[in-house]
């Protein structure tokens, strides 16, 4: 079964940046999917059952926090690992740990860190040493 990554961000360049960053994993057989807002993201998550979902916070229609809650609430999606990309200083509403993200990463993020973390989570081995 192929490992799936779902990237949910309304900014096309950020989606492209994450795609390029995670290209390494794509080469190793991971599937990368995209969604442009929270609602789209939740629908895609339900359809794809991704192993890793990366959510932006501020998005039209449904924000990343609500999308995270929807995904985490869904018993079918219990195996999804959720990372929320937050900007430093952005106030996060207190969340029930059961429905919150597994991890936060602050923007501007370090591509190396994202790829190594994603590799670790999905069980890939990548060569970061170059």
Partner 1 sequence: MHRTTWAAFSLLVAGVAVLLTIYVVMPNVDERGMDQDLSRAMAVVVAALGTAIGLTGVFYTSAAKARRSLRSLETAVRSRQRRAPDLGGSALVEPLGRAVHDLIDQLESAGQAVVDRQSLQDVLDSMPDSLVVVDEVGVVQLANRTFAERLRYERPAEIVGKTVAALTVEAHPLWYAALLESGTLVAADVTFKAHSGGVVSMKTSGRRLSDSHGGPGRIVLVGRDDAELTTLTQELLETTERLQDSERFFQNLFDAMDDPITVIAENYEILQANRQARLTFGRDIIGRRCYQAFRMRDEPCLECPARMTFAQNMSVSVEHRMFGNAITRISTYPLLSKEGEFKAVINHKRDVTKERQLEDLKVSFLMAVSHDLRTPLTSILGFNKLNIRRLQRHVIPAMAAGPEEARTALKKAISDMEIMASEGERLGRLVNDVLDLSKLEAGKLRLNMEDMDLAPLIEAAIIATSALARDKPILVIPDLPHTCPTAWGDRDRLAQVLVNLLSNAIKFTDHGEVRVSVSVQPTELLVAVFDSGVGIAPDELSKIFERFRQVGEAQAGRTAGTGLGLPICKELITLHHGRIWAESKHGQGSTFFFTLRRTDALSQLERSADLTPHVTTF
Nearer to partner 1, 58 or 62 (CB): 58
Residue 13 makes contact with partner 1 by CB under 8 A:
yes
Residue 14 makes contact with partner 1 by CB under 8 A:
yes
Closest distance between partner 1 and the C-beta of residue 58, in Å?
Answer: 6
Closest distance between partner 1 and the C-beta of residue 20, in Å?
Answer: 5
Reduce the DSSP state of residue 128 to 3 states and report it: coil
Closest distance between partner 1 and the C-beta of residue 52, in Å?
Answer: 18
Residue 122 makes contact with partner 1 by CB under 8 A:
no
DSSP string over 68-123: HHHHHH-GGGTT-EEEEEEETTPPPPP--TTTS-SEEEEESP-HHHHHHHHHHHHT
Nearer to partner 1, 66 or 74 (CB): 66
The site map against partner 1 for 27-66 (x = CB under 8 A) is: -------------------------------x--------
Write out the binding residues for partner 1, residues 66-105 only, by CB under 8 A. Answer: 87-91
> Where along the sequence are the contacts to partner 1 (CB under 8 A)?
11, 13-14, 17, 20-21, 58, 87-91, 107-112, 130
């Amino acid at each position: 079964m192929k490992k799936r990554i779902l990237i949910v961000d309304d900014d096309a360049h950020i989606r492209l940046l994450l795609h390029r960053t995670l290209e390494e994993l794509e080469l190793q057989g991971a599937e990368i999917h995209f969604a442009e807002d929270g609602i789209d993201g939740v629908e895609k998550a339900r359809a794809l059952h991704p192993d890793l979902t990366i959510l932006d916070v501020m998005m039209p229609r449904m924000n990343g926090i609500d999308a995270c809650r929807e995904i985490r609430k869904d018993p079918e999606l219990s195996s999804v690992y959720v990372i929320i990309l937050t900007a430093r200083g952005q106030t996060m509403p207190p969340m029930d740990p059961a429905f919150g993200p597994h991890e936060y990463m602050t923007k501007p993020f370090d591509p190396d860190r994202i790829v190594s973390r994603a590799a670790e989570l999905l069980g890939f081995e990548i060569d970061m040493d170059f």
